[in-house]
Copies of this chain bind each other. A is one copy, B any other.
C-alpha cells in the first residue's frame, strides 16, 4: 500500500514538474516572439496552451485519486494539498506566457516593445525561465533551502520591474501611450509569473517542513 502511494505521488510530482517546464519553455519562446516580432513562434506558444490544460486536468485527477484512495496523513497530506495549489500556480504561469505571446501576435509585424526597453524584457524573460526551472527542481528535490532561494531571483525580477517603471514615467519617453500600456501589462505578466514560481517554492517548504517559509527561516 505504502509503495503504491509513493509511486502515485511521484507520478503527480512528475506532472507538476512537466507543467513548470512547459510554462518555462512557453515564456522563453514568448519572450523571443516579443523581442523579435516573430509571429511563427508566438503562434507556437498559443497553439501549445492546450497541453497545459490537459496536464492541469491530469494533475488534479491524480491528486483526487491520492486523497480518496490513500487517505494520507501529515507530510503526505501536505504534499497532496500542495499539489492542488501548485497546479493552479503552474497553470497561471502558462496563462501569463500565453498573454505575452498574444501581445507579440497582436502587434506583428511591428515590435510591441520600443528598442530602449528590450534589455529589460530580455532579462525578465531570462529570470522567468530560471524561476520555472528552479520550481521544477525543488518540486523533485523537496529541498526547503533551495525552495527559499527562488525568492532571490524574484527580488531581481521586482528590481527590474521597478526600473522599467522609471523608464516609462520618464519625461523622455517618446513612444506614446499605446506602447506604454503594452509595456505596463507585459511587465506585470513577467512579474506575476515570477510570483507564482515563488509560491511553488513556498508550498515546497511547507510540504517538506510543515512550516511557512517565515517560520522555517526563523528556526534555521
Contact = CB atoms under 8 A, between A and B. Distances in A.
Given A68-B74, A84-B84, A85-B88, 6 more contacts: A71-B71, A84-B85, A88-B88, A169-B181, A176-B177, A177-B180
Contacts of A68: 73-74, 77
The 3 closest A-B pairs by CB, nearest first: A184-B184, A177-B180, A71-B71
Contacts of A173: 177
Interface of A: 63-64, 67-68, 71, 73-74, 77-78, 81, 84-85, 88, 165, 168-169, 173, 176-178, 180-181, 184-185, 188
Nearest to A74: B68
Copy total for this chain = 2
A9 B162 CA distance: 43
A77 B64 CA distance: 8
A215 to B, nearest CB: 11
A74 to B, nearest CB: 8
Contacts of A71: 71
B178 A181 contact: no
